[in-house]
Structure 1
Amino acid sequence: MPETKTDWLTKFFSHLELERRLSPQTVINYRRDLRRVCAFCEARHIQHWPQLDIHQVRALVAQLHREGLHGRSIARLLSSLRSLFRYLLREEQVTHNPAEGVSAPKVKRSLPKVLDADQVNRLLEIKAKDPLSIRDRAIMELMYSSGLRLSELAGLDLNDIDYADALVRVTGKGAKTRVLPVGRLAIKALKDWLGRRDGLAKADEQALFVSRNGTRLSGRGIEQRMQQWGLKQGLDVRVHPHRLRHSFASHLLESSGDLRAVQELLGHADIGTTQIYTHLDFQHLAKVYDAAHPRAKRKRP
């Protein structure tokens, strides 16, 4: 009996986890995307992957667009489907990739929202006395200092920080490791946290940041605490880990102008991803120009 779509999906997810070593969250995203594809196939009585062709993939995209799925989500689904068929091609189960050449509806690329330098200073001016506040300040200082992703920050172990040379070793997307500098204030905040960590952490816990239960602090826990601190410190915008990472990149690019260096620090594989921050910088300059240049000011009607 020929193997079903589900059989090959099971093998594909094992391939993602064991061969490609993708993060659990990335595999979850693949599962969600391909469940949508499977539902579409069931409705069209498509029982095996070789039966899916480019016309049906285009019909799937059109259907999802009509249902209101965001263009970015459709683009990610197409990427998941292409990856599946590249795997099936490797396994000689199909002869073509029906998702190649199919694109998602275009969406306007939104600029990342950042905190300005004053907002960052206000956020980090925490008069921390209890262990959890000291931990939270160290988390935010480190994220802003080194531009870490949330998953990278949550995954840090004790031995990932080199205090002598002020460096942090992180494992990013695709299990790629990079070593990043850590600022003076972040190192001080981390040392303050280490002085309190043992009072919370379980004896065999290797995580750098732990919860009140003594186990590794989750990404969701970090998000919640950061949002709470934004409110406590009186910021009028929502504070979350990605916003601190975006702020790190934007402020560094404003000061240095070195796009390649920012790309390396952020761990972007494609410099096109990093170039979004040049648009932020230009947007700021344009506002200054419009406000200050005598020929730019518009006369009121």
Structure 2
Amino acid sequence: MLIDSFLNYLQFEKNYSQKTINSYRIDLIQLERYIKDCSEELTLTNVDADIIRQWIIYLMDKGYTASSVNRKLSSLRSFYMFLLIKKEISTDPIRKVVGPKKKKPLPIFLKETDINKILDETEFKEGFIGVRDRMIIEMFYATGIRLSELIGLNDVDIDFNNSLIKITGKRNKQRLIPFGNELKKSMSEYLGIRNETITALPTSFFVKENGERLYSALVERLVKRQLSKVVTLKKKSPHVLRHTFATAMLNNEANLNAIKELLGHASLAATEVYTHTTFEELKNIYKLAHPRA
């Protein structure tokens, strides 16, 4: 009952996505089963920090990564904060619980020369498909939007007069991204070819040949195909292009807060990882360039 009440709160008051709500449900049921195995007298409302710490060890022994365990702990923190507000508990059992430390990998990104090669020198397919695929790569690089945001883009979200794109991001939060003349020209050319090719005028900005909205796997495949022509990175995904956008902005002296707003990050901490990326690049340049490095 408490779990259902909490999930309804996330759905109707916090406007969380169904995917996120399902993850919270799995985490809470998993903990509930674990504490029942420990003792029939234990419940979600009377469990203590020691049991939760034991659960963390149990998860790590089962092969869960530090990232997965910390994500589950995040679900619990939200749940127990909800119970505190509802006065279902008087103390938060997870308050003093510390999750396992995880090593943060630096974002993978393309160098400016590589992204220019992909856009200007590699071959795309003929006709509408080729123009669309190149437009997708350019859109990712020029705006830093997420895969889900690109797929969800509609014609009405593009304001050519004011050179702005309205993006609907996580939890339906909206933000505006400005664009320059080069992207404006590319979008205009793409729309011209798209509207000549598709008989029924679509509302979705990016579409298949039959006018239907694109899906994630299709976009991921075409991005991987084009990136593979130039780079040998292990990861070749739309998110790499998002990282490339952020790194390029930072390297060209963009304000970190401005990059945060453009990316749609909830906190500055998520954006600050790019400062480490550019510092690593700086170290590599120093080692190559300085005679006594």
Give, in angstroms, the shift of residue 267 of structure 1.
Answer: 1.6
Give, in angstroms, the shift of residue 46 of structure 1.
Answer: 6.1
Q: Using the alignment, how far apart are the partners of 2:29 and 2:47 within structure 1?
A: 15
Question: Which of residues 212, 220, 224 in structure 2 aligns to 1:215?
Answer: 212
Cα-to-partner distance string for 1:57-116 (whole Å, 9 max, x where unaligned): 111111111222111111111001111122222223222222222121112211011111
TM-score (norm 2): 0.89
Question: Which of residues 9, 22, 33 in structure 2 aligns to 1:15?
Answer: 9
Q: Describe the shift of the 1:203–1:257 C-alpha distance in structure 2 as closer, same or farther (beyond 3 A).
A: closer
Q: Secondary structure at the match of 2:252?
A: helix
Q: Secondary structure at the match of 1:295?
A: coil
Q: Using the alignment, how far apart are the partners of 1:261 and 1:131 within structure 2?
A: 34
Higher mean Cα deviation, 271-280 or 209-218? Answer: 209-218
Q: Secondary structure at the match of 1:55?
A: helix
Matched with 1:116 is: 111
Conservation of the 8 A alpha-carbon contact between 2:34 and 2:55: yes
Q: Using the alignment, how far apart are the partners of 2:258 and 2:159 within structure 1?
A: 21
Amino acid at match of 1:15: Y
Q: Using the alignment, how far apart are the partners of 1:280 and 1:129 within structure 2?
A: 36
Question: Which of residues 237, 245, 249 in structure 1 aligns to 2:246?
Answer: 249
Mapped pair 1:162 → 2:159? yes
Q: Using the alignment, how far apart are the partners of 1:220 and 1:22 within structure 2?
A: 23
Conservation of the 8 A alpha-carbon contact between 1:201 and 1:215: no
Q: Describe the shift of the 1:86–1:127 C-alpha distance in structure 2 as closer, same or farther (beyond 3 A).
A: same
Q: Using the alignment, how far apart are the partners of 1:257 and 1:157 within structure 2?
A: 28
Mapped pair 1:235 → 2:231? yes
Give, in angstroms, the shift of residue 164 of structure 1.
Answer: 2.0
Gaps of 5+ in 1: 1-6, 297-301
Q: Using the alignment, how far apart are the partners of 2:27 and 2:210 within structure 1?
A: 34
Matched with 1:268 is: 265
Give, in angstroms, the shift of residue 174 of structure 1.
Answer: 3.3
Q: Describe the shift of the 1:208–1:42 C-alpha distance in structure 2 as closer, same or farther (beyond 3 A).
A: farther
Conservation of the 8 A alpha-carbon contact between 2:166 and 2:176: yes
Q: Using the alignment, how far apart are the partners of 2:11 and 2:208 within structure 1?
A: 27
Conservation of the 8 A alpha-carbon contact between 1:201 and 1:213: yes
Conservation of the 8 A alpha-carbon contact between 1:167 and 1:182: yes
Q: Using the alignment, how far apart are the partners of 1:41 and 1:187 within structure 2?
A: 57
Amino acid at match of 2:55: L
Give the number of aligned pairs: 289
Identity of aligned residues (%): 34
Q: Using the alignment, how far apart are the partners of 1:91 and 1:42 within structure 2?
A: 23
Q: Describe the shift of the 1:139–1:115 C-alpha distance in structure 2 as closer, same or farther (beyond 3 A).
A: same
Mapped pair 1:129 → 2:123? no
Question: Which of residues 284, 288, 299 in structure 1 aligns to 2:285?
Answer: 288
